[in-house]
Amino acid sequence: MDLKNPFQTSFGTFSTKDFFIVEAVDGNENSGYGESVAFPVPWYTEETVATTEHVIKDFLLPLLFKEPIRHPDEISSRFSVIRRNNMAKAAVEGAVWDLYAKRQGMSLATALGGEKHRVESGVSIGIQPSVSKLLAVMEHHLEEGYKRIKLKIKPGIDVAVIREVRHHFPDVQLMADANSAYTVQDVDILKQLDEFGLTMIEQPLGHDDIYEHSILQSQLETPICLDESINSLTDARAAVELGSCRVINLKIGRVGGLSETKKIHDFCREKNIPVWCGGMLEAGVGRAHNIAIASLPQFMYPGDISASDRYWHRDIITPPVMLQNGEIAIKDTPGIGHDIDWEALETNRIERQVHRRQ
């Protein structure tokens, strides 16, 4: 699907999103839906659309079909014999979670233990061609009601840009995401960001680092939030115990599914570490999953869960995700709370596969 606007990060630019939807069907005409969130290129993590398809087809579905499951929490332990490939795992597990919630007659949010009725919404803005363009984009999103702005930064597009933005918007809840573009040698640049009162700085150092972030955090006032570095509860524990971050960005796909996300959430709740829900430029199905998980209590900052129309001319769910006073209402209808917009899906679909339990 074509994005309305190209999205530029420190590692590359996305103009389209290639993905697939997983539909899990039981014997009683119930369907659950999941979305693969990987990109076509392994820039953000090692997975791609092609690797997720391969791993699902050749490894995960045979494991899933091997014997019945009683609860979706059983899936992540069954999949644990396959190393990593977290986005592949999450796409399948998410479809089964939705199916399970529908069979229980519960919203996915309730099935996951969610308590909120609405979640606060933020917007993540890619690197813009100029500061004046950035200010105009920000102005537009703030008028729409978004409660927090996240700006992508990289070396050369950081201190001066944030200074200008802060000057124009002194009170906005603002944060920066570097997607691993800096090294510990850049500590002096990162320290300069302390004066702008950023809510947090996301993933300044290595995508697989936990140790150096602990050194950096001890020298920064601004809280560090880890994204790429947290791929499991084990990683979250290491990061929290080492003081590598004060906040965690949770993405269902990055950590291997909703059950693992819940575990990290519960751990962070115990440790008093706030979490918030990140985004992968999802279409409607993935977005609905994000809304459901963000209803859990430790999600304490607005997420990168923006409305459908921030990304798409026409989303693949109906109704699309909409913003009301900077918040997204959590549907109490069974499952993800949105139907598939089959016409929109068919317009974009290039392939369909069916896999059955033998």
89 is catalytic: no
What is d(CA 85, CA 96) in angstroms, rounded to the nearest whole number? Answer: 17
Nearer to ligand OSB, 248 or 280 (CB): 280
The CA-atom distances, in angstroms, between 99 and each of 62, 195, 294 are 19, 48, 19
179 in contact with ligand OSB (CB under 6 A) = yes
User: Choosing from 152, 154, 262, 331, which is the catalytic residue?
Assistant: 152
Instruction: Output 32 or 278, the one with its CB closest to ligand OSB.
Output: 278
Q: Using DSSP, state whether 298 is helix, strand or coil.
A: coil
From residue 218 to residue 257, what is the string marking binding to Mg ion with x (rule CB under 5 A)?
---------x------------------------------
Does 281 contact ligand OSB by CB under 6 A? yes
Residue 171 beta carbon to Mg ion: minimum distance, rounded to whole angstroms: 24
Using CB under 6 A as the binding rule, whether residue 283 contacts ligand OSB is answered as no
Stretch that binds ligand OSB, among 62-70, 89-97, 259-267, 273-281 (CB under 6 A): 273-281
DSSP string, 229-287: T--SHHHHHHHHHHT--SEEEE-HHHHTSHHHHHHHHHHHHHHT--EEE---S--HHHH
Residue 168: C-alpha distances to residues 121, 149, 160, 165, 198 (Å): 21, 13, 13, 5, 14
Residue among 93, 98, 158, 177 that touches Mg ion (CB under 5 A): 177
Indicate the residue among 303 and 335 with the shorter CB distance to Mg ion: 303
- Is 152 catalytic? The answer is yes
Q: Which of 17, 102, 147, 251 is catalytic?
A: 251
Q: Which does 93 bind (CB under 5 to 8 A by kind): ligand OSB, Mg ion, none?
A: none
Element (H, E) at 290: helix 284-293
Where are the alpha helices (H) located in 105-208, listed in sequence order? Answer: 108-111, 131-144, 159-168, 187-192
Binding footprint of ligand OSB on the chain (CB under 6 A)? 9, 44, 124, 177, 179, 227, 278-281, 304, 306
List residues with catalytic annotation.
Answer: 152, 251
